[in-house]
Structure 1
Amino acid sequence: MMLTRSQFYEQYQHCFSWYDTDEYACFDVLPVSSENIQAIRQAAEDVWRVLVAAGEFMKTFDDETLLAYGYPIETLDLIRTSSQPPFIARCDFAVTKTGIYLLECNAEVATFVVETFKMDDLVAQHFGRAGVNTDAESILRRELNHYIEVAAHSIGKRPEDCRIVFSALSQAIEDIGTVEYLRSLCDYDAHFCAIEFLSMDEDGIYDQTDEPVDLIYRIYPTEWMIEDADPVSGIGLWDYLEPLVFDRKVALINPISSFVLQNKALLALITEAWGNQIDHPLSAIVHRHFLPTAMTPDSISVPYVSKPTFGREGQEVEIVKEAGAVLYNASAEYAVFPKIYQKYVDLPTVELEGESATLQLSCFLMNGVAAGISARVGDAVIGNLSKFLPVCFSHS
């Protein structure tokens, strides 16, 4: 029986309830060659090596330099001392005829997980096509549980002895769906607790039942955590959280090392450190997959794109060409951050329901392992209103 779009997605609303917002989920597939899929996976693992190396390099800088790169002063001690590696990240690429170029890496609170690891192959199968993520969910499960062991070890505990909480804002439907899906893959006893119901003092973090928490998987950016304050006492929550993480009384997933990589200023550091070299082991990857990026616009020729260092979902992005500049998704929240200036590259386009749409392909990494490729389509800048387009192999 041929289902309509709504009938198909309604079957999965228990895990993908946000499919119908602005017709977010496309009921179609994007054919991609197996060669391109493999090339994207390889590119993701290669750029991840560079990003991790740049993150370690960034940790060596003094306060003044870190502040100039946009890191909040409240995070500097944790940035320098965090040894817990990142877990999951999403690399967003422009896959063009001339190459595969990293646009940015969402290293701290990557979403688009359910779409990629659960829904993508289900849509492909419905249309009789071979999905590109057949083994991705099992890899995600394996790497998640391995990382929970790593995080538990970082605070001197076994995962079996940890109280594990998956957390997101209570009104953020997509974020809740994401952490609940990840929790379903967790082999250890774990609970959901909304961010608002976590409480803290100098001794620990507590869930909605007042039980002390050891590991927190959070979809909540560090810069928001810094701004939060207890509504009763007025004490900043970061004032409690930072020493708890520093003293290894609690572990975050993703940890503060992922916040280092989330900063788009890291792309400027990569250009400065390795973009003009030819003999460094990472230089070939930088030349192949990274677009020239700087902290000042006069260092990059037109056309270029300006983005906030900690911008998210395409907010406050400006494309500057000879004919002028166009600002997309203006946001006072993100306008306060320093900007980076990245060489502009045309994203490919696809025909969708009779209209041309810009295409961005993404690849997830868990513990540095590339798995899970997905697509979003939309305006010139891919953002929060862009649509999910499932991917399949072109030869099936």
Structure 2
Amino acid sequence: MQRIQLTPRPDWVSQAESHGFYFHTLEGEPYWDETAAYQFSLREIEDDIEAPTEALHALCLDLVAEVVTSERLMTQLAIPEEAWDLIAESWKYSEPSLYGRMDFCYDGTGPAKFYEYNADTPTSLYETGFFQWLWLEQQSAEGKLPSGADQYNRLHEALIERLTMIGRAGQSFHLACCRDHPEDAGTIQYLADCAEQAGLKPSTLCMDELGLNEAGRFVDMQDKPVDQLFKLYPWEWIWQEAFAGALAHGGTQFIEPPWKLILSNKGILPLLWERHTGHPNLLPAWFEGDAAGGALPERWVRKPLFSREGANIAIETLQGVESQVEGPYGNGPTILQGWCPPPTFAGHYCLIGSWVVGNEAVAMGIREDSSVITKDTSRFVPHFIHE
């Protein structure tokens, strides 16, 4: 694994916008960054990223099966009691998942360390599945990459295959996200394109356009039934909505399913560590007050049970807070995770995002930042494989 300096394609901005990648720049700074790329060996990908991703995903599913039968664990994860039955039912009937992203610390020299599972509303999907593959093809054709360079990336094909499997022929397939959020809008548009290639007839809308008709069915703005809904909107927010009481009987199958509220919860980190202490890919993690029997390590990371894009994550020591990211999740319960900073390459902190579609590890995306906490503005840097 190494970071290689490269010359960007002269027309990458116009290409991005022609393909609908309008969030290539955020807050005046580049989000997509092809001034460099990360090179990996095939062994690093297969043994250190792909295999641990699938192994940890299996452990996570085992944990879901345990949590859905335990009021104690549901309570410990701060999952609202009114959600318990729907979550248990969605697991019992194997309601299908589409995708998720596991975040890892990895520098090419040891076991990848699992930071967290973005299992409900992960983004950076489009730039992983489409735009970095386009970059690989074009830079290879121009001779800018080593001959035979490849990429760990069958995300696009896997999404289409999975949507073909879980989509309901003859029924509607809607996709929704928050209003005025370009990255989320780009993600659901990309998934809508994949759904169309899977033979579905997708429709997109904003979450505030989702309604209920007189019969209690979820409908869109044209009063058409919402049979399946991919929602880029966290389950913990949905349970606070006025329509939450209609979830069980509103006639809609949600993707991601309700049981994903367990996997997207940072509380799975101490639960996994408790059940698999010493696992080479896991970091020590504890619920508040449980850390090492009361003896905290020298430095740790505090994470809210529910948060997105690094919000409200803090790095702490016995002397106090070293650094933190502001956000809207500061009032909820938190967990503590052992300190394991992302590696630095040429002064850039690097985080691996490993994509799971269904139960299969299929692709990787890399984010960089000048700080140790990866945020929604952290740069996306492409990668390639070459021996």
Q: TM-score, length-normalised on structure 1? A: 0.85
Q: In the alignment, does 2:16 pair up with 1:7?
A: no
Identity %: 22
Q: TM-score, length-normalised on structure 2? A: 0.87
2:205 is aligned, of 184, 187, 193, to 193
Q: In the alignment, does 2:122 pair up with 1:110?
A: yes
Q: In the alignment, does 2:145 pair up with 1:132?
A: no
Question: Per-residue deviation at 1:363?
Answer: 0.9
Give the match for residue 169 of structure 1.
Answer: 178
* Structure 1 SS opposite 2:259: helix
Greater Cα offset, 109-118 or 10-19? 10-19
Question: Per-residue deviation at 1:203?
Answer: 2.3
Give the match for residue 282 of structure 1.
Answer: none
Question: Per-residue deviation at 1:311?
Answer: 1.4
Structure 2 residue identity aligned to 1:12: A
- Normalized per residue, the structure richer in helix is 1
Counterpart mapping for 1:1-396 below 5 A:
7-13=11-17, 14-21=19-26, 22-27=29-34, 28-39=36-47, 40-62=49-71, 64-83=72-91, 84-96=95-107, 97-128=109-140, 129=145, 130-148=149-167, 159-186=168-195, 187-201=199-213, 203-228=216-241, 236-244=242-250, 249-275=251-277, 287-300=279-292, 301-321=297-317, 324-331=320-327, 333-351=328-346, 356-378=347-369, 379-395=371-387
Structure 2 residue identity aligned to 1:10: S
* Structure 2 SS opposite 1:57: helix
Question: Per-residue deviation at 1:243?
Answer: 3.5
CA distance in 1, matches of 2:164, 2:128: 19
CA distance in 1, matches of 2:159, 2:314: 34
Question: Per-residue deviation at 1:217?
Answer: 0.7
What RMSD in Å do the two structures reach over aligned CA positions? 2.0
Runs of 4+ with deviation above 4 angstroms: 2-6
With over 3 angstroms needed to count, the CA separation of the structure-2 counterparts of 1:30 and 1:338, relative to structure 1, is: same
Query: How far does the alpha carbon of each residue in 1:144-163 deviate from its partner, in whole angstroms, 9 at most, with x for none?
Result: 22122xxxxxxxxxx22211
Question: Per-residue deviation at 1:6?
Answer: 6.8
CA distance in 2, matches of 1:112, 1:138: 16
* Structure 1 SS opposite 2:280: helix
CA distance in 1, matches of 2:160, 2:56: 23
Structure 1 residue identity aligned to 2:166: Y
CA distance in 2, matches of 1:240, 1:115: 35
Greater Cα offset, 186-195 or 360-369? 186-195
Give the match for residue 3 of structure 2.
Answer: none
With over 3 angstroms needed to count, the CA separation of the structure-2 counterparts of 1:5 and 1:334, relative to structure 1, is: farther
Give the match for residue 151 of structure 1.
Answer: none
Q: Which runs of 5+ in 1 are unaligned?
A: 149-158, 229-235, 276-285
With over 3 angstroms needed to count, the CA separation of the structure-2 counterparts of 1:93 and 1:131, relative to structure 1, is: same
CA distance in 2, matches of 1:292, 1:81: 31
Structure 1 residue identity aligned to 2:260: S
Q: Aligned pairs, how many?
A: 357
Structure 2 residue identity aligned to 1:80: A
